[in-house]
Each structure stands twice: as C-alpha cells, then as structure tokens.
Amino acid sequence: MKRLSRLLPLAAAAALLCGCEFVSNDDEAFAAAAGGANARHAAQSSSIVGTWFLREKSGSGSWYVFFNADGSWYIKDTPSASRTRVSGTYKTSGNKFSGPMKNPGVGTGEISGTFSGNSMDFTFVEFWHDPHKTILYKGERK
C-alpha cells in the first residue's frame, strides 16, 4: 500500500502533463477542414441557413444541401434520406460561401458559391479525381 501511495503523485503529474493539449488557430483550422466540430466560432449568416434543392447545371443530377447556423453543412439524396453523402463546414462573407468537405471513405473537396434570396450558385470540387472534378449546381431554397 505504501508503494502505491508513493506512485500516486507521479501518476497524477504524468496524467496532467500528458492530458493537456496546446490548441492553436491552426488546430482549429485543421479540425474545420476535416469536417470537425470546431466550427463553433463560425455562426453563419441566417440568409443561407436552411434546406436548398440543388440541380446540376448539366441537368444530370440533383441533391439537397442543408446549411446549419453552426457553420456545418451536409448533402442528402432527399430531405428525409438517412444517408449523408458528404458534409463539411462553411463560412460566409456577404452573399458568398465556401468551405471544405469530406466524402467518407472516398476523399475530400471543397464547396463555394453565391446566394441571394431563394437562389444559389453552388460549386462542388472533388479532390479525389485527378485532375480535380468540378460540378456546377443551381440551387433554390425549399
């Protein structure tokens, strides 16, 4: 028992030293780029928040994109679909938005575009293609 009580202060000190993390802006940027929860600083414009129907400009596909007030977004096939296809974080500046995205098990990419009222131009770039694949969408608020 005496031996255990002598080791306890050393174990506590080691736990404190190993358990502390240095968090910098770079750490938060990395977590946001990976689609992490550190988008808490990015409360977004209420003008973009909500559900948008996206139709590919070429006419070959459509999705629903959901922009949340916490700076996160995701895409589903339908509003009630259980599967999320891609997700990420975003920031707005005026009527422009942009951010990283993650396609689980496939790769990463980015989104960007503009919005005004109930319409949106949405650019989706897939980094897992070489060269990167860019898909253009028109969106309308639902």
pLDDT tens across 60-73, in order?
889 999 999 999 99
C-alpha to C-alpha distance for 24 and 116, rounded to whole angstroms: 34
How confident is the model at residue 3, as a pLDDT?
52
pLDDT tens sequence across 36-53: 444 433 445 689 999 999
Q: Number of helices (H) and strands (E), helices first, in the chain?
A: 2, 9
Give CA angle at 137 (135, 58), nearest 5°: 70
Kindly tell me if the per-residue pLDDT of 138 is higher than 80.
yes
CA dihedral 24, 30, 31, 35 (to 10 degrees): 160
| From 1-5, 46-50, 124-128, 137-141, the region with the lowest mean pLDDT | 1-5
88 and 99 Cβ atoms separated by less than 8 Å:
yes
pLDDT at position 20 is 34
Query: Of 141, 139, 142, nearest to 56 (Cα)?
Result: 139
